[in-house]
Amino acid sequence: MLQIEFVGEQRDRLGECPLWDERRQALFWIDSKRCLVHCLAADGQRRQWTLPHEIGSIALCDSGRLLVALVSEIGFLELDSGAFEPLARVPHPAERMRLNDGRTDRAGRFLVGSLQLAPATSVGELYQLQATGELSIVERGIRVSNCLAFSPDGRTLYYADSLSHQIRSYDYDGATGQASGMRVFADTTALGSGPDGAAMDAQGHLWVALVMKGQLARFAPNGSLERLLDLPTPYPSCPCFGGPGLDTLYVTSLSDTGNTIKTDDPRAGRLLAVRGTGVRGLPEARFADGHSHRRPHPQTE
């Protein structure tokens, strides 16, 4: 039976990028506008860290640190000390831009996209970051970067320009990090919302937050819509699988983006836990930051 409940009383302004850390048995997520990284452990213990700028996304690292994408800088958050160590700076091609959604590929590279604050024009880019700090451009001509995910075998990259309502898929070479063969995977126009954050499940289905409809959509590997879930929050932003069995869907949400969304609805900005979907997720891939903790991903052994 499907069960959906709020987690805690906290109400984020721009909740995003939930990640389950199976080593710590803890959930990380961000409040972008408040420059906060949150952590909720399985035993109920909570922690938070304040960063120097607004946050676009985070990633787990081999070392145990967090990789954090700020407005125009990417670096490491040391969880014990709270110190931020810069790794790379992104040269945005226009004004009023910031980094947004990010995801680590199965080989340990971090992909992160950018956006321009409204009115957004097609100046956003998708970047790929190596552990050396080397930054390359994977895609250009994006208004709002979102929906980054990889298939279980790592050979397909999913990515969206939210304002186009189209989720794209690419052939992805894990050895070289090259993306090619772009095609439209799914179009969410008929669902009444652009796609926001996404999560991949163990069956290769893509779960996508329909931010303007208060729903989660699950797409099959062929792009067909497999199910829709109504959520008790008006603006869900991003899902992830977590919990000891990776069978709980955690979903962040928005209340005041400082840009296009602002609501006094007390359910907005809350963190949700969805159980009983009958689906499990995959362990989150980690950024290969030069430490010796790497373990093969269970789908690529």
User: Distances from the Cα of 245 to the Cαs of 1, 68, 89, 106, 108, in angstroms?
Assistant: 17, 26, 37, 20, 23
Cβ pair 46, 57 in contact under 8 A:
no
Task: Give the separation between CA 280 and CA 248, rounded to whole angstroms.
Answer: 8
Q: Report d(CA 287, CA 107) in Å as an integer.
A: 8
Residue 196 annotated to the active site: yes
CATH class of 3-275: mainly beta
Q: Check 196, 201, 247, 256 and give the catalytic one.
A: 196
Q: Is the pTM of this model over 0.75?
A: yes
Per-residue pLDDT tens digits of the chain, which is 301 residues long = 999 999 999 999 999 999 999 999 999 999 999 999 999 999 999 999 999 999 999 999 999 999 999 999 999 999 999 999 999 999 999 999 999 999 999 999 999 999 999 889 999 999 999 999 999 999 999 999 999 999 999 999 999 999 999 999 999 999 999 999 999 999 999 999 999 999 999 999 999 999 999 999 999 999 999 999 999 999 999 999 999 999 999 999 999 998 889 999 999 999 999 999 999 999 999 999 975 333 333 332 2
Enumerate the domain spans of the chain: 3-275
**Using an 8 Å Cβ cutoff, are 198 and 188 in contact?**
no
